[in-house]
Amino acid sequence: MANLERIVSVSIALDTAGISKEGFSTIGILGVHAYSTNRSDTVTDVDDLKSMGFGVTDPIYLAASAAFDQTPRPSQVKILRWDPAGAGVSVGTVAAGAYNLTVAATVSGSPVTKTYTYTASASDTAATILAGLKTAIAADPAAVVSGTVATSTLALTPVTAGTLIDYTISSNLSISWMTPTETIAAALSAVVATDNDWYGLILADRTSADILAAAAWVESHTKIFITAIAESGAILASVSTDTGSLLQAKDYYRTAWMYHDLAATEYADAAWAARVFSIDPGGETWALKTLAGITADGLTETQYTSVTGKNGNTYEKVRNILVTQNGEVAAGEWIDIIRFRDWLQEEVATDVFTLMKNSNKVPYDDVGFAMIEAQVKKALDAGVTAGGIAPVEYDDAGNKNPSYTVTVPLAA
């Protein structure tokens, strides 16, 4: 039988592989923890955090819970690890039975998991139990942690500095984290080296120095940092040393701060970001949003003016409605403008790249220039549809006011 390909030869090219686009609706919560060996973990609800080992009073848990409380709720939140210097293990309940400590790490590219057990008798004390766990670790020539007993705590540190350790304990033990030795900038740089697909940064820590450090790092990256402070000086116009004033003085365009009296326990910043990130870039404002599960502040007009005078934001009750007020970054620009600008830049870059990747050639002539112009206009038209760029309008005389203009030089 004659082959059909003598007459008709068909070839179908699969140009389905496109460049990934950065997401502008994903929150990353940075906090100190060692419940995973990853710099970034994706969770879809708070039960995922409980499974990892987080307690319901942990700042990271509270921040994630505030995000997931919103309607619409985010489909996911990323937990970003700020590596502690080590862990402190103590005995929660002294009783006969097994006390288990499991540590996991990645060594030379391979996962390593070690479990150390001390079986206590009825006469054992907390000190005896901790000493027994320390002895078990010391007896392991391939241990990834070393232990030191001080008072009522077994201090655990990585044998090799910089190794990310995942600690798991039995229910009769408790664990706490040592103060990190790595800076916030180092932690965030390590995070983006493995996972850069997130946009809004929430810091579980409320320390002024840490907020300022996070703001400094974010300013040179395509991210937005939302934070909340409860400093009394923030609501006083005469004070210029509070964190809000310092952020304003730095003229930060990528950091927005909110005064919230319960910032230590309620994460209005995470709730705010989650609520607004449910809206596509260009279609939102950050003002007049109601946040589920967040207590509103009862500020006087003078206090409100003091906060907004420092380019801060508030969450207050207006008549019978709870709403966010202002919607600005520390430099005074609107938050939605910054987010839309980042989104539009990404749209133009990826659309032009996709054209070049999927074309055999984009010639350096007027035809090639027009091909690139079409991709730029495609992104701008998407910006008009999203609401970030004004549509075409006309004045009283019927003259056209275009929503944008694109100037393309001649190849010559």
Structure tokens at 196: 């850069």
What's the pLDDT at 19?
47
147-to-94, 108, 176 alpha-carbon distances in Å: 20, 22, 14
What's the pLDDT at 23?
73
Using one digit for the tens of pLDDT, what is the confidence trace for 349-404? 999 999 999 999 999 999 999 999 999 999 999 999 999 999 999 999 999 999 99
What's CA 401's distance to the chain center, in Å? 39
Could you list the beta-strand ranges (E) of 271-350: 314-318, 321-325
What's the pLDDT at 91?
96
Residue 177 pLDDT > 60: yes
Using one digit for the tens of pLDDT, what is the confidence trace for 51-81? 999 999 999 999 999 999 999 999 999 999 9
What's the pLDDT at 29?
98
Residue 215 parent element (H or E)? helix 208-218
Gap between the Cα atoms of 176 and 274, Å rounded: 28
Cα–Cα nearest to 341, from 137, 182, 199, 198: 199
Using one digit for the tens of pLDDT, what is the confidence trace for 222-269? 999 999 999 999 999 999 999 999 999 999 999 999 999 999 999 999
CA torsion, points 341, 345, 346, 347, in degrees to nearest 10? 100
Find the range with the poorest average confidence among 15-24, 197-206, 265-274, 366-375. 15-24
Query: What mean pLDDT comes out for the span 157-184?
Result: 96
Residue 1 pLDDT > 70: no
Question: Across the chain, what does the average pLDDT equal?
Answer: 94
What's the pLDDT at 262?
98
Query: What mean pLDDT comes out for the span 185-201?
Result: 97
What's the pLDDT at 227?
98
**Cβ–Cβ under 8 Å, residues 35 and 51:** no
**Cβ–Cβ under 8 Å, residues 137 and 158:** no
Look at residue 133 and give its three-state secondary structure: helix
Query: What mean pLDDT comes out for the span 297-308?
Result: 98
One DSSP character per residue, 42-59 reads: EESSHHHHHHHT--TTSH
Gap between the Cα atoms of 412 and 271, Å rounded: 53
